[in-house]
Amino acid sequence: MADFSQSGQITTLHDLGSIGRGHLEELLVESTVENKLGLVLPVTASDMRAAPFDRIVEQLKGVEYIDQIVVVLGIAPDDEDYLETQRKIAPLGSRAQILWTDGTRVAALYDELNAAGFNLAIAGKGRSVWTAFGYLLADPELSAFVLHDCDIVTYDRELLARLCLPMAHPSLDFEFCKAYYARRTDRMHGRTVRLLVWPLLRSLISVLGPDPFLVYMDSFRYPLAGEFAVTARLARSNRIPSDWGLEVGTLAEVFRNTSVKRVCQVDITSEYEHKHQSLSLDDPNKGLMRMAGDILTSIFRTLASRGTVMTAGHFVTLRSAYLRAAQDAIRQYHADALMNGLEFDRHAEEIAVEGFAQQVTTAGEVFQQDPAGGEAIANWARVLAALPDFPQRLRAAACDDARQFSPDGSGRLQSQT
């Protein structure tokens, strides 16, 4: 049963089951006459070949309110990766374009940025998203950019409509919209959020006091959701982390660059399933352990940038507070799972918490050695000051790639339907 609760600082947009996809899309078609939207689809070569991507393309064929779609193809070193992506998205027609981050043209642009002092050396989702925003910024008619992952097994285009409407409707004034949903199948998923992020935030508040950033972060129902929408103006101002701290780092940049009143979160689906990361307790540089480390250092560095002093003693206390909060959370999740007929492995949850607790200590040590860090990519406002035509050159590179690989040399994707 949906509720009306508006807990925390940010506006929560619920799914009360009172509006259908058709009505949502009618509102969006009307709203996007003036407020045009660009959709970012970051995808790797392996995910492009998986069934969820085919489902997403099939669903997007019926979406009329998206003006432009940029498919950011990464970890795709072979020409065949590009060609297969081109074939798969052909049903989307000319509004869809591939931005191939491993292609020679975009790689040359990265080299130019690196030579100019912009660190674009680290490949990954963060760099792909940042590059896509630059591509979209070349069109001043786009008012907002929307992003979702391409490994969503249960994808339905209503998910996209619910994410877009808060940014497009003329009666609303949000600058950032974050998705939330319940991650579950026959059991609860989302261990990093359930067992690390929420207990950690509440522990930090107990140790450091109610810092406004921590209170803001604690207001999100799923802070690690990969789906969000942002105005073009804010996309110019936000820096983007290049590591696993992307989602947390993005929320930190939003907090820094706009008013909390202009931030919302929206329930986008009752069923969300995508691929899962391994816990990787034996290797902290992989899986959820690496993700946890990047998330923790991102939070610690954001607090430091706000003037918060954190010493070795703070991290000893924080680990103890986190362990207690996470163990209490396990008890709550066990009860919740029981009431909903879900499988629940309490021992596995305890093991995950112990691994995350070790990462609290490790991340604290990393933070103390390098409090500032250097992972965030410069914002587009800075790049545009140095290289004003760079977004247009990204578009030209994408068009030249398409022209090189298209059968008729036009550079345009032709629908196969």
User: What CATH number is given to the structural domain containing 28?
Assistant: 3.90.550.10
Q: Beta strand pairing status for 96-100 and 66-74?
A: parallel
Has residue 417 been placed in a domain?
A: no
Tell me, what's the pLDDT at 322? 97
Name 176's Cβ contacts closer than 8 Å, sequence gap at least 6. Answer: 228, 229, 230, 231, 234, 254, 258, 262, 263, 264
Tell me, what's the pLDDT at 414? 45
Tell me, what's the pLDDT at 183? 81
Has residue 3 been placed in a domain?
A: no
Under a CB-based contact definition with an 8 Å cutoff, are residues 388 and 93 in contact?
no
Has residue 415 been placed in a domain?
A: no
Low-confidence residues of the chain: pLDDT under 70:
1-2, 243-244, 274-277, 284, 374-375, 407-417
Cα distance between residue 64 and residue 71, in whole Å = 17
Percent of residues in the chain assigned helix, strand, coil, to nearest 5 = 50, 15, 30
Cα distance between residue 222 and residue 277, in whole Å = 17
Has residue 416 been placed in a domain?
A: no
Helix (H) / strand (E) element for 121: namely none
What pLDDT digit, counting tens, does each position of 286-321 carry?
788 888 999 999 999 999 999 999 999 999 999 999
As given in the structure block, the two tokens for residue 314 are: 């703070």
For residue 340, what are the domain limits? 11-405
pTM: 0.93
For 265: left if phi > 0, alpha if psi spans -120 to 50, otherwise beta; the answer is beta
Has residue 94 been placed in a domain?
A: yes
Tell me, what's the pLDDT at 1? 45
Tell me, what's the pLDDT at 243? 67
316-340 b/e (C-beta count within 10 Å ≥ 16 → b): eebbebbbebbbebbeebbeebeee
Tell me, what's the pLDDT at 86? 97
Q: How many distinct structural domains can be found in the chain? A: 1
What pLDDT digit, counting tens, does each position of 354-406 carry?
999 999 999 999 999 988 876 679 999 999 999 999 999 999 999 999 999 97
Has residue 318 been placed in a domain?
A: yes
Q: How many CB atoms sit inside 10 A of residue 416's CB?
A: 9
